[in-house]
Amino acid sequence: MTTPTKLLLLNSSILGDNGQSRGLAEHFKRRLAARGDVQVTERDLVAEALPHLDGTELASWMVAEDERDAEQRELAARSEAALAELFDHDVLVLAVPLYNLGIPTQLKAWFDRVLRAGKTFRYTENGPQGLVEGKRAIVLTARGGQYAGTALDSQTPHLTHMLGLMGITEVDFVYAEGLAMGDRHREASIGEARQAIDGLVARL
Ligand SMILES: Cc1cc2nc3c(=O)[nH]c(=O)nc-3n(C[C@H](O)[C@H](O)[C@H](O)COP(=O)(O)O)c2cc1C
């Protein structure tokens, strides 16, 4: 028997089941289910929101594991759980709404827990080197307006660089754009995004 591919799906819409990025993620899951050889772990980063990273939590990472007090253990566990889950999967799928020209703060809070020197990347004389090997990522974006390919698309470079810092350089983006630009536009755009998802699932 072949080992199933393990896929970690992270939702970050504040609109829950009504989120368009969640709709894309659901389509993705339906297509995966038809394949039957991919095991999905799904997280809702809004329902299980991590707080903003602060200095006290950051300091807990610097204390040796066996020297942490109860509070430091609890704080360090946030990042450790996110890291363990990331390393335990083969494919990372991010369902990403565009809010105020950026990624949701809840998703940023997740990246703040996994982008850690010595854990997911290290500094070398030649610059940072990613330590997360053999993984790929797929980003499903949902946007009210149209930005892909323009200087106003802040998400694509930001996510590409954060994933790349960890060593995840194989990244595919699916764009559902113009969702606030009328029904016809929205439906066409979602249809195209779903087709792009079908192609990606077929090549997983
Ligand atoms: C708080 C908020 C901020 C938004 N900011 C933008 C924006 O800056 N640009 C844009 O094109 N659409 C913006 N939108 C529209 C969203 O991108 C659109 O509703 C998209 O479907 C969000 O993904 P979701 O449905 O998965 O939550 C915003 C929506 C919300 C709720």
* CB-ligand 1 contact for 22 (6 Å cutoff): yes
Q: Per-residue pLDDT for 4 more than 70? A: yes
* CB-ligand 1 contact for 101 (6 Å cutoff): yes
- Dump pLDDT digits (tens) for 185-204: 999 999 999 999 999 999 99
What is the 137 CA–ligand 1 centroid distance (Å)?
22
Q: Mean pLDDT for the chain? A: 97
> Alpha-carbon dihedral of residues 185, 187, 188, 191, nearest 10 degrees?
150
Query: SS3 breakdown of the chain: % helix, strand, coil, rounded to 5?
Result: 45, 25, 35
Which protein residue has the closest C-alpha to ligand 1 atom 22?
97
Q: Which helix (H) or strand (E) holds 9?
A: strand 5-11
Q: Per-residue pLDDT for 42 more than 90? A: yes
Atom from ligand 1 closest to the CA of residue 97: 23
Tell me the H-state helices in the chain: 20-35, 55-62, 70-87, 105-114, 155-166, 183-202
> Alpha-carbon dihedral of residues 127, 131, 134, 135, nearest 10 degrees?
-90
Q: Per-residue pLDDT for 2 more than 80? A: no
Q: What are phi and psi of 121, to 5 degrees?
A: -155, 165
- Dump pLDDT digits (tens) for 46-104: 999 999 999 999 999 999 999 999 999 999 999 999 999 999 999 999 999 999 999 99
pLDDT band (50, 70, 90) for residue 3 = confident
d(CA 82, CA 137): 16
- Structure-block tokens of residue 129: 């080197």
* CB-ligand 1 contact for 150 (6 Å cutoff): no
Architecture of domain 5-202: 3-Layer(aba) Sandwich (3.40)
Report domain extents, the chain.
5-202
What is the 100 CA–ligand 1 centroid distance (Å)?
7
Nearest alpha carbon to residue 23 among 72, 95, 73, 82: 95
What is the 42 CA–ligand 1 centroid distance (Å)?
22
Q: In 3-state terms, what secondary structure has residue 123?
A: strand
pLDDT at 1: 60
Q: Per-residue pLDDT for 18 more than 80? A: yes
- Dump pLDDT digits (tens) for 95-146: 999 999 999 999 999 999 999 999 999 999 999 999 999 999 999 999 999 9
